[in-house]
Structure formats: C-alpha cells, structure tokens
Chains A and B, each alone.
Chain A
Amino acid sequence: MAPLSCRLLPPLLLLLPSLALALGPATEELRWPLALGEAEELAEELWGAGLPGDLPELEPECRRLLVAFAESSAALTGCLARRARPVRLCQGCHRHYRLLLAQYGTIARAVGNSSESHNCAKSILTSDRLQIVVTLSQFFNETWEAANCANCLKNNSEGLSNSTVEFLDLFNKSLTCFEHNLQGQTFYLSPNNYTEVCKNCNETYRMLNDLYNNLQRMNRQGGESGHSAHLCIDVEDAMNITRKLWSRTFNCSVPCSDTVPVIAVSSFILFLPIVFYLSSFLHSKQKKRILILPKRIQSNASLVNIQEKYS
C-alpha cells in the first residue's frame, strides 16, 4: 500500500545515497496524513522524475491507469474488511468491485499511444515476476466468487436483485421484531424465557425461513451449470444469525418429540423378524439332501486310507 511504501522510503534512502540526493528534499514534503490518492501520485511522480533516463519508463497514460487501479483496490479492500462482520460484502462493496473490474479491464485492453511495444497491459501486467496487479485482481475475483455475490446481484451486477432486497427487508423486519419484543419484556424475568418473542415473531420468522428455502431451491434448480449451489454470503449469514438467535438464544423451535409411539412402532417392526424366523424354524420342513452313492472302487476305504497313511 502506498503509505507503507512511503514509510519504508527513509531507510532505503540511507542505503542508496545517489537516489537520496534526488529524493531527499522531496520526502520532506510528504506530510502525514495525506489523501491516499495524493500520496500515491506524489510517490509515482518522484520515482518517475528521479530515475535515470535509461530505465524503461511507464507511459503517463499507463501510470494513470495504474493509479486508478490502486485507488479502487484500496477502496475495495477497505470496504470488504469493514463489512466482514456481520457480513454485508455483496450489498456494500459491489460498486467498488465493479469499478475495480472495469479498471482492470481497461489496463488489460489499453494500448499506449506511443508505440506497440509500450502498451500498458504488457508493462503493467506481465513485465515482472511478481505481477502484483494480476495477483490482486485474482484475489478480488476469488473472494467475490467464494462469497457468491453474483447470486444476489442483478444479472448486469447493478444493484441487488429483487429477491435479495425482499429477503433483506424481511430480515430487517424480523430483527426489529426481536428487538421490539425483547425491550417490551420486563427485566426481572429469567433470561431464558423468551416466549413473548417466539409468539410474536413467529410469523415473520417463518416467512423469512420459507423465503430463504425458496431462494435456495430456485438457486439449485436454475444455476446448476453456473455457480455453485450456495446463496450469496450476505443472505446466508443473515439467515444463519437469525436462525441461531431463534433456536439457540431464544430457544423457540421446540419440536414435538413423540418417543413413545416411535418406540412402540419400532419394537413392533423388530418383533416381526423374530416371529418370522421362529415360525419358519418350527413349522417349515427342513430341506433334506439325498445322498448319492458314488460309483467307486474301495469307495469307503479311501478316506480311511488317507487317514491311516497320515496318522
């Protein structure tokens, strides 16, 4: 990141006096804090100005592209990190991501004015071992894929899709409901007694749950070839939180357990084979085999023979 590189500069300068001469006065001008973009640009300019002419220089056009990419990647990173918990990645950062994609696309496509050999794609993306721009963009793409954000955005990735918006509305509604009912509760009640919440918010919660299941089913049917069967992380996480609150914290979903009939039915089923085997043992005629006499010389003696010889 740009601020980091600025901070690292002074020790580097000590080692390289010749460069330090050229850069020394300039570093003093750097004042903290600076807008990210400004710092970036400044550093860039310094490098460009101070370097000996024989080093290949980045076209100004390309440099602008690179700076733009750096800015938007910084913005995206910040956005992602800030929205990590509770997860709001797709809702909050999809604009940043789209911008970044566009900028990367421009770099990859852009051709500098001066000559063929100096096109930006080549000089920015592939001219060194590290290829940091490519790595960064790959990282963002992978994160985006893993979060499965495409799933809750519109097809052209402009804004959230209708179903997602609907889901989030419902989600907010149920959260509000929870809050409402919890506040309404008197404090001296035992903390595990959330019956009020369970009763009042049941409808909203059911709706939310059903909507989520519907989304999941639709997703599984529709997008089998494209992305995986996950919904986007925002929706998944929202649902997870709600479910956890509902069944763990509030302890609302108490399924009826009917152990007695289950035991009765299963012991009945278990009883059947015992009856079956007993009755077939007692009543079925045992299958007999009819022995056939072999036609043999000394048929009887042979086995005796063997045993004699070997005992």
Chain B
Amino acid sequence: QLTPSSFLRIGQLSNVDLNEDVRELETELPRQHPNEIPHNEKLLSLKYESLDYDNSENQLFLEEERRINHAAFRTVEIKRWVICAMIGILTGLVACFIDIVVENLAGLKYRVVKGNIDKFTEKGGLSFSLLLWATLNASVVMVGSVIVAFIEPVAAGSGIPQIKCYLNGVKIPHVVRLKTLVIKVCGVILSVVGGLAVGKEGPMIHSGAVIAAGISQGRSTSLKRDFKIFEYFRRDTEKRDFVSAGAAAGVSAAFGAPVGGVLFSLEEGASFWNQFLTWRIFFASMISTFTLNSVLSVYHGNAWDLSSPGLINFGRFDNEKMGYTIQEIPIFIFMGVVGGILGALFNALNYWLTMFRIRYIHRPCLQVVEAMLVAAVTAMVAFVMIYCSRDCQPIQGSSVAYPLQLFCADGEYNSMATAFFNTPEKSVVNLFHDPPGSYNPMTLGMFTLMYFFLACWTYGLTVSAGVFIPSLLIGAAWGRLFGISLSYLTKGSIWADPGKYALMGAAAQLGGIVRMTLSLTVIMMEATGNVTYGFPIMLVLMTAKIVGDYFVEGLYDMHIQLQSVPFLHWEAPVTSHSLTAREVMSAPVTCLRRIERVGTVVDILSDTSSNHNGFPVVESNPDATQVAGLRGLILRSQLIVLLKHKVFVERANLSLVQRRLKLKDFRDAYPRFPPIQSIHVSQDERECMIDLSEFMNPSPYTVPQEASLPRVFKLFRALGLRHLVVVDNRNEVVGMVTRKDLARYRLGKEGLEELSLAQT
C-alpha cells in the first residue's frame, strides 16, 4: 500500500507553508493503518468519478470556437433539435417494443397457467399448477437475472438512482452504454413476465437516457460504428443536456406525461437549466409520448385513435362520481400521512435488506439464485392467496383479462385473482376503475399486506425493474380499502366511489416511497388526465413527503447512499459554515510543470494509488524570486491523448510536417480514453519534454484557503466543476477540492458527519 507521502514531491511542489503539515501527516501515518471494514452507508467509493461539465477552455478550444461562424452555430442549434426529435421517437419505439412483448409473453404465460389451473380444479392436483406457475416464473426471472448479473450489473434496479447520479455529475461506469440499454430492455421484459412485483416504467427513464446519450454522440463504441455526425456534441456538457432530455422522454413514454417528464428532469437532475433546454426537452417528451401513442394505437387496431399515451394509463377519471368535494380534502391529507408512514416502513425494510445484500449476496450466482427464489415465492404467495380466497364476483364482460374460476360457482371468478393473476399495471387500473363492490375488504387487506412485503423484497434484486408500479399498486389497494370502509362508516352515498381513494392512496404510497414532489404531482395529474385532481394529489404528496422524511429518506437517495456515490445535494449541509476550504481540500497536490518531462507524466499517471484526474499546471522553473504559481489545469484524459500522439517538444522540432493536434483528436477518444498502461512510451521518449501550455485550461476556477465550505460548494455545484484549485495569496497551489471532498460532509442524526473513502 503506497502512502501519500511516496509521491509527495513528484510534482516538485516546493511549498514552504505546507511543510509543517506534511511532516505532521507523515508522523501520523503509521498509526492509521488502512483497515478493512464491513460495508456501511457512511462510505464514499473511489470507483466513481466526476464528469467534466466545465469546458476545458484551452487554446485549441478557443481556436475552434472562433472558427465557427454565426451560421455554423445555427446548424448546431438545428442539430440539437433533430437529436431531440430522434431521442423522442426512439424512446417511444423502445417503450412500444417493451409493452408489446410483455403483453404477449405475459398473456401466453397466464393462458398456460390458467389452462392448467382450470384443468386441475376439476380433477384435483392443484399443487401441480402451483409448481408449474412457480417454475415458469423462476425460470423466466433466472434468464433476466443472469443477463443482468453476468453481463451488465449496472442495468439492475430501476436505473433512476443511476440517472440521478449521472445528471448530478457522477460518472457511473457503463451507465449510458448501448449494452446496458439492451440488457435493461430484455431484463425488464423478463422480470415483468416472470411475475415479480415490479413495473416497467422506471427502467424506461434509464432507457431513454441511454438512447439520448447514444444518439447525441453519433456513434456507438460498443458496436464500433462511427457515423461521423454530431461530433460537436462529444463532451460531457452537451451529452448531459441530451441525457436529461432522454430521461424526460422516458418518463413521458412511461406515464404519458410529457410535462411530468420535463419536470422530472428538472427536479432530479440538471443543475444547469435554461429555457431553451427546457423547450427542447419538452419537445423530446412530446415526440416520445406521441410516437408511443400512435404506434400502440396502430398495434391495437384502432389507428388514429391515439388512446394509449403511456405504458400505463390510469384510465379516465372524469365522470361524475370521480369528482371530489372540499370536505374530502382532510381525508386525503390523512391518507398522505398513512402513505408517508408506510413508505418510510418500506424504505427502512428495504434498507436493511439492501445492506444485507451488499454484504453477503455479492456473488453473481447467488444474486441469480435469490432472484429466482423471490420469483418462486411471489408465485407461491399469489397462488395461496387465490386459493384461500372465497371472494367470488360475477364475470362482467371482458373486464378481467384472465378470469380464474377456481372454487367459485360457474360464471363467477375469483376476485383475488384479478389483483394477483395479472400484470401489475392491469391490476392498478382494475383497482382504480372496477365498480364499487368488486373486491371485498378482506381481499384488499390481504393483498396490500402481501404485496407490500413482496415489493419491498423485490426491489434491489439483480433484475432490472422499477418500483413505481408496485408502489402504486400497494397504495391503490389500501386506498380502495380505505374508501370502502369510509363509505361503510358514513353509510353515505356521496363518497361512495372507492376509485378516487384508490388513486389518492396510490399517490400517497408512491410519494412516501420515492419522495418526489413537483414532478410526481404532474405525472399523476397527467396520467389521470384530470387537472382538478392536481390539488388533492399535491397535498397528498406533500404530506407523504413531510411525514416520510421525518423517519427515513427516500428510496432513491437511500440507494445512492448505499452505493457510496459522492452525490452533491442542492445545498451544502446547513451547519458547515465553520469549515473552510483549507480543511476541506485534499493536500498536497500532485502538480505538473508547464514544460514537463514525459517520464514524470507517465509515472504520475500510472501511479495506481493515486487515481487523480486533474493536475494543476505550475510555472516550469521557479527561481528564488519567482514562486511556482498556478498556470492552468490539465486533465488525465488530455495527457493520455497527448502521450498517445507523442506531442513532445523534441519531436515537434524534429519533424515540422507533423500535424498539429486538434480538438477533434480529443473528441475521438471521448468518452473511453485508453488507460495509461496501453500507451507505450520508450525509454528515449521518457527523456523528452512535453509542453502543456497549449492544452491546459489556462483559467481554472480557484478559491482562497479561507473560503467557507458552503461557498466552495455553491461554486462547485452551480458550475458543475470537477476540480477546484485552492491557492494561497501568492497564487501557489495549496490544495485541490474535488467532488468527494465535498460529498463526504453530510448532515446526519447527530449533526455534521464525515464519510470515509473506501475502495469498493
């Protein structure tokens, strides 16, 4: 294990002020031997790096920007719109694909199982049906889990935490790759068909984001195809904007909520926001839902009807009975409180489970086995619930997709089976819209209880699946139960319709689990297609969030924390004013000289113990009168490109014909820069010198040592910085503030706490 002192003087940092501290640090080192601890929430992983949202404004960049004239900028703007349209269309098509495949496969599965159950109800031997159902589920989920666990683990879960991190500025490895998209789409299909308590809506957001990242780059590194288009957008800043458009398009396709999608991107993601971007994102969202709508309506045989704007449609909520009165608002608020408490319980249970999974179930094969077991148990629970239920309802036309008769009289079906023997989306809609009396309270109560634990158990498995629909389903079930008992208690007919209580319950439960506010309100409002519901839904979500936050934080934030991601919230922790940049920063800093020896650069880059990505560039040869002041900042990726192209001072003198390095060379390498090990530098070349002045960013952001943490935080967060150099009053480099330095301060239960860095 290399200690920091081993490369202390690599950068020839001659800083008098620091010497004392350095010595102090050195004496402390032996006592603090690096140790191993079990995984916990108070860690920051070294695995995650930051994205460069700040353009490196070096000479090459400035030259290129100057070359681009007014008209060319206009083409760039048009290209942005074209890309947004393509994002919308492709996201819509992917959503269609998922929907159609899930519908057919799930239909096939349910028909097979139903046929089997019907057969064995007469003759006896229902345990075989149970086995068949469980085996079918488990094997489908096994395939879905294997592809996720062994091929692309980042495709697990809903993907919303990952996209949130990406938009926050954290580079999650592999998160926006084509391979991830393929695995995600197949994984979602398989886990929904496998009958897990999951939805296909959350993953749409991730899919949209990957599509956006892929299209905007005009190439696919996975397929090794470069279409030579959109080269201007090959950098983190532009890509991030498109990814937020993609996430919005995903939400829009999932719920048929274009405005909700835009607000989701606004709420969850982008730190940078301007009205042009908003307008473009809205455009992408609209295109996405429209594409989905038109393709699905053609598929369902009523073209031009445009009646299915999202993957889930809550159905119409605009008849007389669905209206609400002022008196009901306190009831809705109460439901919000219940939702908050239940959501907090869900999150707390899921927290323990996830911790256990991270610690003990980390091998892919174990993860696959776990997913299969969950699938089998889900089928088992559903079967037993249906088996034990004596709640029979007359069949009314074709409202039930797969009516199971089981022990009911002929012409009737088992009411529990409408909830369990169906895809979760359909069950949600049934709970919203089935006429009063379709479910008896016992059925609903048992269903809520079982589904709550199943959904909680399922979230966090190594399958790609979302939590939106299960939450809605739990909420709709207890909301309906609540509505039924209310009309029973009051004996009044005014509040008779339990459908709207199901809706409010769904909103409360979802709000209590994910704690989204603005975007969720609008999503729910758009999904119901009824603006007057905006007010009660807002109140419900607000209450659920307040109550839930009192106990435990939201599910997505919790998972981000458990993944040890250095996530920056909107504001610095409130009690952090006493900290200054001097205490926050990392020091000493590995600096490079403006004209540096190639060997030194290679050594610094290949030092495995310090995986630094940004290096302050200082004056080359400070003498007695001149200090080594900060001249600029250069990134690892840039250095690697320089080394790869062997842009050495000696070589430049040697052959004048050598092509000057252009910004294009940097872009072509983006985003997968080769590791330093793959670049061969001969012994002779090690002695060459490299001139960084043309490539470094000559105007990096700096702060003095006395700046307070909130100030540093604000600068960092608002500008999307990756490296912030701390200088003293002589412009000498004292330290460096990176994302991890800021993210480690967090407001815990006992005030400000500090997270430790860990290798994961």
Contact = CB atoms under 8 A, between A and B. Distances in A.
Partners in one complex: yes
Interface of A: 209, 220, 224-225, 228-230, 239-240, 243-244, 246-248, 253, 255-258, 261-262, 264-266, 269-270, 272-273, 276-277, 280-281, 284, 286-300, 302-303, 305-307, 309-310
Nearest to A285: B360
Given A265-B131, A298-B583, A284 B122 contact: no
Contacts of A240: 411
Contact of B126 (A262, A298, A300): A262
A73 B373 CA distance: 65
B130 A265 contact: yes
Contacts of B575: 306, 310
B411 A243 contact: yes
B360 A284 contact: yes
What secondary structure prevails in chain B residues at the interface with A?
Answer: mixed
A287 B21 contact: no
A264 B125 CA distance: 12
A269 B127 CA distance: 12
B409 A284 contact: no
A288 B38 contact: yes
A294 to B, nearest CB: 6
Contacts of B685: none
B407 interface: yes
B39 interface: yes
Given A266-B384, A286-B359, A272 B735 contact: no
Given A269-B376, A297-B735, A209 B358 contact: no
A253 B408 CA distance: 9
Contacts of A309: 578
A289 B39 contact: yes
Interface in B339-389: 356, 358-363, 366, 369-370, 373-374, 376-377, 380, 383-384, 387
Interface stretch (B222-230, B310-318, B637-645, B749-757): B749-757
B122 A247 contact: no
A147 to B, nearest CB: 13
28 contacts: A209-B410, A243-B409, A243-B411, A244-B409, A253-B410, A255-B122, A256-B122, A257-B126, A258-B124, A261-B126, A262-B126, A276-B369, A277-B356, A290-B34, A291-B35, A291-B36, A291-B758, A292-B46, A292-B758, A293-B3, A294-B757, A295-B25, A298-B21, A300-B28, A303-B754, A306-B575, A306-B578, A310-B752
A273 B39 CA distance: 23
Interface in B56-105: none
Contacts of A281: 356, 360
Contact of B377 (A255, A269, A303): A269
A110 B578 CA distance: 93
A297 B21 contact: yes
B377 A273 contact: yes
B43 interface: yes
B121 interface: yes
The 7 closest A-B pairs by CB, nearest first: A256-B124, A261-B127, A247-B409, A243-B410, A229-B398, A288-B36, A243-B411
Nearest to B760: A289
A288 B359 CA distance: 8
A224 B299 CA distance: 13
A266 B366 contact: no
Contact of B370 (A261, A276, A288, A300): A276
B411 A239 contact: yes
Contacts of B373: 272-273, 276
Contacts of B358: 287
Contacts of A295: 4, 25, 586-588
A148 B586 CA distance: 78
A270 B379 CA distance: 11
B37 A297 contact: no
Contacts of A288: 36-39
Given A244-B409, A296-B587, A303-B754, A270 B127 contact: no
A297 B36 CA distance: 23
A297 B582 contact: yes
Contacts of A225: 301-302
Contacts of A262: 126-127, 130, 383-384, 387
A243 B756 CA distance: 70
Interface residues of B, number: 76
A287 B38 contact: yes
A286 B358 CA distance: 9
B654 to A, nearest CB: 39
A302 B38 contact: no
Interface in B294-337: 301-302
A280 B122 contact: no
Contacts of A265: 127, 130-131, 380
A19 B319 CA distance: 48
A270 B380 contact: yes
Interface in B406-432: 406-407, 409-411
B579 interface: yes
Interface in B673-690: none
B492 interface: no
Interface string B4-45: 100000000000001001001100110010111111000100
Contacts of A253: 409-410
Contacts of B583: 296-298, 302, 305
A209 to B, nearest CB: 7
Contacts of A290: 34-36, 758-759
Specify which of A273, A281, A306 lies most central, judged by the most chain B CB atoms within 10 Å of its CB. Answer: A306
A289 B37 contact: yes
B608 to A, nearest CB: 12
Most buried by A among B39, B363, B380: B380
Contacts of B411: 239-240, 243-244, 247
Given A288-B38, A290-B759, A296-B587, 8 more contacts: A253-B409, A256-B122, A280-B366, A289-B758, A294-B586, A296-B583, A306-B575, A310-B752
Nearest to A231: B397
Contacts of A310: 575, 578, 751-752
Contacts of B474: none
Contacts of B374: 273
B578 A293 contact: no
Contacts of A307: 751-752
A205 to B, nearest CB: 9
B34 A256 contact: no
Contacts of B362: 284, 287
B585 interface: yes
Contacts of B18: 297
B230 to A, nearest CB: 38
B659 interface: no
Given A273-B377, A293-B32, A306-B579, A280 B361 contact: yes
A286 B355 CA distance: 11
A284 B363 contact: yes
A289 B410 contact: no
B730 interface: no
B134 to A, nearest CB: 6
Contact of B380 (A243, A269, A276): A269
B757 A291 contact: yes
B123 interface: yes
B25 A255 contact: no
A296 B32 CA distance: 13
Contacts of A264: 127
A257 B407 contact: yes
A289 B406 contact: no
A302 B709 CA distance: 12
A266 B380 contact: yes
Contact of B359 (A228, A287, A299): A287
A54 to B, nearest CB: 46
A247 B579 contact: no
Interface string B115-135: 000000111111100110010
Given A228-B397, A262-B130, A306-B578, A272 B376 contact: yes
B752 A266 contact: no
